[in-house]
Each structure stands twice: as C-alpha cells, then as structure tokens.
C-alpha cells in the first residue's frame, strides 16, 4: 500500500539519499538507483516521523482517482462473488484462475479500502474490520495446517468419511482403533499450544496499530507513523510474519511436510499440465495485485507504478550478470546450507527433510514445469516483496516476511537459508532494480529444480 507519489517517494518521507529510483532498489545500475532506504542510519531517518504532512500532501487526495478506485474495488467484489458461485459450473481452467486470485484478493481489497479512507473517513472502520478478518483468516489457515500436522492420516480419513456421510444425510460409525484414539489424545496438547500461538501472533501483529511502535520504526524505515495506509500494511505484514512461525515453534516441523499433509497432497495431486496453468495464473495475480496495491490508476499512472515497483527493461549485460550471480549463489548456498544443517544436527535440532520437500515439489519436477514454477516464484515474489514492500519497509522486515512465507514447508534451517538468500535479493534490488533480482531469483530456483530433477548434488 503506497501513499506517497512515486516521483519523489523517499524525499517526501525524509530520505533524500534515495529519491528518484524507488522502483529500482536491487537491480538498477548505480548508487543513484538506490531506492531502498533500509540501510539508512537512524540519524538519516530522524525526519521521517515528521514527514507525514508532506507525504500526504504530495500523494494525497489531489492524486486520488476515486472513479478508478471504485471501479477496481467493485470489480474485485463482483469477481469474487461470480467466481464463488461458479465453482463446479465453469471450466476447470477458469476455476484455477479464480482460485489463484484468492492469495492476493483479500490484500487488494485491504489496500483499496485504505486508499478510499483518505477521502471517506468512515471507511477506516470497514478497512480495520477487514484487516481483522484477514488476521483471523490467517490464524484459521495456520491453525488448520498445524492440526493436520499433529493428527494421524487415519484420523483425517475418518473425518472425511464422516463428513461425506453427513452431506449425504447418513451417519458414520468411527472405527474402533485404539492406536488412533491414543494419537488423537496426544494431539490435544499441541493443538492447544497452536491455538494459543496463533492468538498471541495475532495480538503481536496489532502492535503496528500503536503509534509509538510506528514512530520507533519510522526512525529506521521510511514510513509515516500517522499514515493509515502504512499502519494497515504494516499490521498485515506482521500478521504473516508472526502467524507462520507458530507451527514451527510449537511442533518443531513444518506442517506441509507432515505425514497427513503429504497424504492429502498425494490424493489431490494435480497433473503437470494443471500445475503449469496454476503457476501462470499465480504470476498474473501477483503482478496485478502488486500493481494495484502500489496505486495503479488510483494515484499513479502505469509508468509511475512500473517505476515504483522497480520494473525496467534490463540490458543484455544485466541479464548475463543476474544469471551469473544466480549460479554463484547456488554454489555458495550449497556450502551455507551444509554448514547450517551440520550446526543444527550438532545442537540436536531438527533439519528439513529433503525427501519430503521433493514430494511436496513433485508437480514441478519436469523441465517445463520447473521453468514455469521458477518464473512464477522468482518474478512474483520479487515484484511483491522487493518491488512493492522494500522501498517502504526497508530490507529486514520484507526479508523476514519473505522467509516466513516458506516456514510452512521448511524447518528453521531452511528458513534461515531463505532469509539469507532474501537479503542478497534485497541488496540486488537496491543496487540494480527489481527485474534484475527477479531474473536472479528465477534462475536460482530453476537451477535448484533441475538439480533435483537430474539428481545432481555438489556436496
């Protein structure tokens, strides 16, 4: 969610040393392309807390296109209703298109509500309620994954059978299985801890609603502590960071690698063609969502949004350099991951099970599917995290956000590795531009996929 005008987004918040390249934090071509302000010291950032008036004046109501905003907002609502009503009645590819939008649509609505609240104060109540709904949804999603992780696969089959019987108007008698009953009893305590954890995570995310917290952060990152847009965005980011770490903290393993989760995955495994379609749609929605949240046709033109997100046509030299950096990163992180894994084992901590990860990524294990998955993840994540979030929230918070997005599928050793690679992508975005970091990220992922496909190991 961006509130300041893209032509001088950093200057308006007191960060004069990163003024005109807001979209090119990691992959521009020099120091003057440095749009990411996260490396600024507190001394440089002291003016941020008092810059709210200037930021609002430049990117405020006079730049707000209410007609476009209302059209986009209404379009999203109508799209959601139509897609929900069309489930089972529309072609499968259309269902995939609609389902892919669900990852970003709630946040698009949140951003649009925050923008509109600048003109209509009453919408702040709606936006805040919607923010709480998103936090509750994240809590439910995280808790559900955690419960699946602690329940035995047999229990899930029993519940599915009971649900089907209930839908058909019948009854179901649970199997008298002593081992399963014992496992169910053992799951009670972890489930209670999970419930406590997601509740605490939700409360911690609301710390961003406290002005004193935002004032403190504004000394290090270019936010306006009095901006409702920045407050709302920061709360949503904190919710994901805190929420997604709960299963790892409580269970000691990522929920998507649990026996029950993998069993569900095997039963509902899409075909390679279906996964390819989903990846294309996911990339589309990630890019569109990032552009709308950045203010496309709301208070920015398409060219301003491209600049804001750091998207530019790379030179041949930059493409070659980005690919070369990706190759080096693969070699370096083979060693880094080995060291992290050895340290975890020495400390008696659990490490990510590579075999289970390979099962999770099975739909991508063909040369073509790997290319689409790498492009979708590389460009989608870089545009959303480095392109959209980094200029406004610095390097560390978006990188933590990026790492915790992977906490549902990797153990802490993997999360640390993702955090470190995220830092490198962030620095590339800062010194070059988002397209550069996206090429590096996509190439890095593609090499890793191909190493798995062809059984290549370096250590």
Tens digits of per-residue pLDDT, 38-47? 333 333 333 3
Report yes or no: 51 and 457 within 8 Å, Cβ to Cβ. Answer: no
pLDDT at position 192: 96
Question: Quick one: the chain helix, strand, coil %, rounded to 5?
Answer: 70, 0, 25
Residue from 152, 144, 113 nearest 129 by CA: 113
pLDDT at position 20: 37
Neighbours of 445 (CB within 10 A): 23
User: What mean pLDDT comes out for the span 338-353?
Assistant: 95
User: What mean pLDDT comes out for the span 393-397?
Assistant: 96
Please check the confidence at residue 69 and state whether its pLDDT lies above 80: no
pLDDT at position 16: 36
pLDDT at position 388: 95
pLDDT at position 159: 67
pLDDT at position 447: 97
d(C-alpha 52, C-alpha 64), whole Å: 17
pLDDT at position 44: 38
Report yes or no: 13 and 55 within 8 Å, Cβ to Cβ. Answer: yes
16-32 pLDDT, tens per residue?
Answer: 333 333 333 333 333 33
* Strongest mean pLDDT among 54-68, 86-100, 140-154, 256-270: 140-154
User: What mean pLDDT comes out for the span 423-427?
Assistant: 98
Please check the confidence at residue 6 and state whether its pLDDT lies above 50: no
Please check the confidence at residue 240 and state whether its pLDDT lies above 90: yes
Report yes or no: 337 and 420 within 8 Å, Cβ to Cβ. Answer: no
């Amino acid at each position: 969610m961006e509130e300041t005008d893209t032509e001088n987004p950093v200057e308006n918040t007191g960060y004069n040393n990163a003024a005109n390249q807001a979209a090119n934090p990691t992959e521009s071509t020099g120091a003057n392309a440095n749009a990411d302000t996260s490396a600024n010291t507190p001394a440089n950032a002291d003016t941020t807390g008092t810059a709210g008036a200037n930021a609002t004046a430049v990117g405020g109501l006079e730049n707000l296109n209410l007609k476009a905003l209302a059209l986009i907002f209404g379009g999203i609502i109508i799209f959601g209703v139509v897609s929900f009503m069309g489930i089972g009645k529309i072609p499968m590819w259309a269902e995939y298109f609609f389902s892919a939008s669900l990852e970003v649509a709630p946040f698009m609505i949140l951003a649009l509500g925050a923008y509109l609240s600048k003109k209509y104060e009453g919408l702040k109540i709606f936006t805040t309620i919607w923010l709480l709904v998103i936090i509750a949804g994240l809590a439910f999603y995280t808790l559900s994954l955690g419960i699946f992780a602690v329940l035995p696969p047999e229990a899930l089959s029993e519940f599915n059978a009971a649900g089907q019987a209930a839908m058909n108007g019948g009854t179901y008698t649970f199997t008298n299985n002593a081992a399963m009953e014992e496992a169910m009893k053992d799951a009670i305590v972890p489930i209670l801890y999970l419930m406590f954890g997601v509740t605490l995570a939700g409360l911690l995310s609301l710390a961003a609603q406290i002005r004193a917290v935002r004032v403190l952060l504004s000394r290090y990152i270019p936010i306006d502590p009095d901006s409702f847009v920045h407050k709302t965005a920061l709360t949503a980011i904190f919710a994901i960071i805190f929420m997604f770490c709960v299963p790892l903290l409580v269970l000691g393993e990522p929920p998507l690698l649990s026996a029950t989760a993998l069993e569900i995955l095997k039963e509902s495994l899409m075909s390679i063609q279906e996964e390819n379609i989903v990846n294309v749609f996911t990339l589309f929605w990630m890019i569109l969502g990032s552009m709308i949240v950045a203010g496309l046709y709301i208070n920015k033109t398409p060219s301003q949004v491209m600049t804001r997100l750091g998207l530019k046509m790379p030179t041949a030299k930059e493409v070659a350099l980005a690919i070369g950096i990706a190759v080096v990163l693969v070699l370096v992180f083979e060693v880094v991951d080995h060291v992290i894994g050895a340290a975890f084992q020495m400390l008696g901590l659990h490490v990510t099970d590579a075999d289970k990860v390979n099962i999770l990524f099975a739909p991508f294990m063909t040369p073509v599917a790997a290319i689409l998955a790498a492009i979708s993840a590389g460009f989608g994540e870089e545009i959303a995290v480095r392109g959209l979030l980094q200029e406004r929230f610095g390097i560390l918070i978006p990188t933590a956000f990026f790492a915790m997005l992977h906490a549902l599928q990797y153990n802490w050793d993997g999360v640390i590795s993702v955090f470190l690679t995220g830092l490198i992508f962030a620095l590339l975005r800062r010194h070059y531009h988002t397209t550069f970091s996206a090429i590096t990220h996509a190439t890095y992922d593609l090499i890793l996929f191909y190493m798995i496909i062809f059984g290549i190991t370096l250590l």
